[in-house]
Structure 1
Amino acid sequence: MALGTGLAIGIVFQTLRIPSPAPPMLGLIGLFGMFIGQRLIPWIKLLIPHKS
């Protein structure tokens, strides 16, 4: 869904000649940061010994 939405918005922006709100590289870096952030907490939980 996200890819389809992104493609649709990209087509609309290009058709209407609207400049992108963020440079493409900056957007990709932001998405990568979000991905890493979502994966970080579970990864840390696996590394810390669980006390029962």
Structure 2
Amino acid sequence: MKPYLLSLAVGLLVGVIYSLVHVRSPAPPVIALVGLLGILVGEQIPPLVKQLIAKENTVAWIGQQVKPHVFGELPRGTLAPRAKADEQVKS
């Protein structure tokens, strides 16, 4: 239940911010994508600060943690064999 309440609170905060910058929701595609990029990058700031404070190897951490999270692989679909696909269409 706690993640849902947190998600609602963050959604309300984003709604207030949208209102303050006069952006209607749903946001135009470019604004929405820039916002999502900000979320992805913003998620990495607290762990990065922890790495810097602990004086651990930040460059390696960025390559191992940040890069896969921000630039991760796109989902891959599986193709059904042609005969199976044709049978499904006939049904």
Could you tell me the TM-score, scaled by structure 1's length?
0.51
Residue aligning to 1:42: 47
Superposed structure 1 runs of 4+ greater than 6 Å apart: none
C-alpha distance in 1 between matches for 2:37 and 2:26: 18
Q: How many residues align?
A: 31
- The sequence identity of aligned pairs, in percent, is 45
Q: CA deviation at 1:37?
A: 1.1
CA RMSD of aligned residues (A): 1.9
Q: CA deviation at 1:22?
A: 1.2
Larger relative contact order (CA 8 Å, sep ≥ 6): 2
Gaps of 5+ in 1: 1-19
Gaps of 5+ in 2: 1-24, 56-91
Q: CA deviation at 1:21?
A: 2.1
